[in-house]
Amino acid sequence: MIVIARGAAVDHFVRWVNDLEDTRTKAEFYPNLGKDKLLGDYIAAKSGHSRGSTIDLTLVDAKGKELDMGSPFDMFDTLSNTDDPRISAEQKANRYKLKSLMTEAGFAPYSMEWWHFTYQPQAYPATYFDFVVE
């Protein structure tokens, strides 16, 4: 079991981004960008995730298999943009199904990451929580 504080998880992610020597996951998560380009558009030093308003998710079928979204979850690349022209019609339909479900529930999409949504209006727009999650 891993126990981590939510704010601490974001802090860990920022430390990882700033460690330019650690490129073990480059091929999988940021194949076309330098790690020094991730902070900002892709990784926030202060995240909506820590405000309790932002969620990353995908869709699965009835058997629990993830639907094909055209890029892996957390892949920092233009291929992960909701409307990237390189994805297939099926992948685009899957992304738009997720987007539609989430916007109908009050969440705003982030166009650079098909999996990232923020509830609107945010209940705590200026508060960053730091609590243990198991």
57: helix, strand or coil: coil
Catalytic residue among 21, 28, 66, 113: 113
Sequence-ordered strand ranges (E) for the chain: 4-5, 54-56, 107-110, 113-119, 132-133
* Whether 66 is catalytic: no
Nearest Cα residue to 107 out of 50, 52, 46: 52
Catalytically active residues are 113
